[in-house]
Structure 1
């Protein structure tokens, strides 16, 4: 299907067809702006992408999970995830893309804490009711209008619309993904997950993250368990294993190279770590998953 590259390239918004590298929203009319070398091979995007699909049936993969686009469905991805578009079928809808830099103001920084951007459950797809579709389409069309005409204060207006859109999507996300009865105030969990995203290749122990947060490992473990339903070490292992699966599936790095990239000095320990998580060796996972894909 494709040649597994020695690394997973990352593309900017402008390289992916956007007008600039900060923000873009457009109506999808069945044509593609991306070069085939981007959407037919494994890659990451350095921006958030939110897509309201009205018609279309393309098959694509996000983090080794296959999806076939469905009408009246909302798709969303974050910068660190790995994409492969398997079939380039025409799609009608609205595509919204923006970067962390666009969220750099104090007000917009608050948006980064919303569930649809944090994506703690690693989801990619939201199912919509007719009312959801109408609301999202109306809001996004207003954003398209602002972005095209660029009247006075259009950036402020776009940020306001984006704020509303992400809150609405986060409500849907919480309904469809989040474990019930989690504590509403999850400040420490958010700080921990942010640190984990930055440091998962260096720190594999709860004590290291507790040190970065200036609290005890026991307190961190208790709070994370209460606020997420999973222990802190489960979060750490899950993040490392996710990246391991990405590298095994999408690249031709050796097991030793992958182990080193993820912070393991001993490849044999990485093999045991991976097998505890997935009940198979890294090599067995790579072989079986690529057979499934092809």
Structure 2
């Protein structure tokens, strides 16, 4: 069985040079380009930390786990640890950048346990009011970060980061409610159950795609699991299970040379034809067509360098 984390894709560690010893950096994408070459950023790579990008001016193309996003003014992009990323910014791109380790944020019930959930949205286009709300928090974070070492400085940044990510979560929920024409309950109480389900899904997606098996694993009824998934993610448990399998299928097709039949076996399909039907339903193309459309190199140019 292939361990995705062992694939020959360079991993960038969190080694900031602008303010060592603290698990957060608030800077700009232009500053990032002074420390990492465009060639390295354009090739497949992963980072060991969270990276949130808010575009102010210009444009750029970013690929996150083989999903391509065209980013312009008002685009918000959240890249999570170990997602495979590639970037092609235009020379006019101006964007704020927040980097932080998984250990840095404050713990806030189940929410922080879902920060690294690769099935959560990665890209939003913000309205002017949303950009203003997020910008005010970002300004406070940037000012505090630039002050340098002082008593309580790190605690202040932790609290400001909590406000920042909760604001993003609120924007995400608001946009989802608008799209679904439904009211989203921001305090629904289903977070802990959903988190247990997501953890079990990451452990078991290769062996089962049955909702009943996951409900049994987290000691709840299928009805309760359905309500938790709908309340937190706005979709069904079955859709999330299939999304996780499809994500791993895309990763293996894009970044390994495993035969399609072997990819199918890795993901628990006994027949390659069933895998092909599943993949077409989720991705709208055959596995072979997807692999050809993502015919990239398997390692980035150069060695990872310290970031910021």
Structure 2 residue aligned with 1:77? 79
**Out of 275, 280, 289, which is 1:284 matched to?**
289
Structure 1 residue aligned with 2:26? 25
Structure 2: 5+ residue stretches without partners: 1-6, 297-308
Distance 2:79 2:20 in 1: 19
Structure 2 residue matching 1:177: 3-state secondary structure? helix
Matches for 1:17-166 after TM superposition, within 5 Å: 19=20, 22-29=23-30, 32=33, 33-36=35-38, 38-87=40-89, 89-103=91-105, 107-108=107-108, 110-112=110-112, 118=117, 121-129=120-128, 131-148=129-146, 149-166=148-165
The change in CA–CA distance for 1:21 and 1:212 in structure 2 (over 3 A counts) is: farther
The change in CA–CA distance for 1:83 and 1:281 in structure 2 (over 3 A counts) is: same
The change in CA–CA distance for 1:125 and 1:34 in structure 2 (over 3 A counts) is: farther
Shift of 1:220: 3.0
Shift of 1:226: 6.8
Structure 2 residue aligned with 1:249? 254
Establish whether residue 195 from structure 1 lines up as the match of residue 225 from structure 2.
Answer: no
Structure 1 residue aligned with 2:219? 214
Structure 1: 5+ residue stretches without partners: 1-5
Alpha-carbon RMSD:
3.5
Distance 1:255 1:281 in 2: 10
Structure 2 residue matching 1:79: 3-state secondary structure? coil
Contact residue 24 and residue 99 of structure 2 kept, 8 A: yes
Contact residue 111 and residue 166 of structure 1 kept, 8 A: no
TM-score (norm 2): 0.75
Using CA pairs below 8 Å that are at least 6 residues apart, which structure has the higher relative contact order? 2
TM-score (norm 1): 0.78
Shift of 1:260: 4.1
The change in CA–CA distance for 1:12 and 1:238 in structure 2 (over 3 A counts) is: same
Of 266-275 and 93-102, deviating more is: 266-275
Shift of 1:102: 1.4
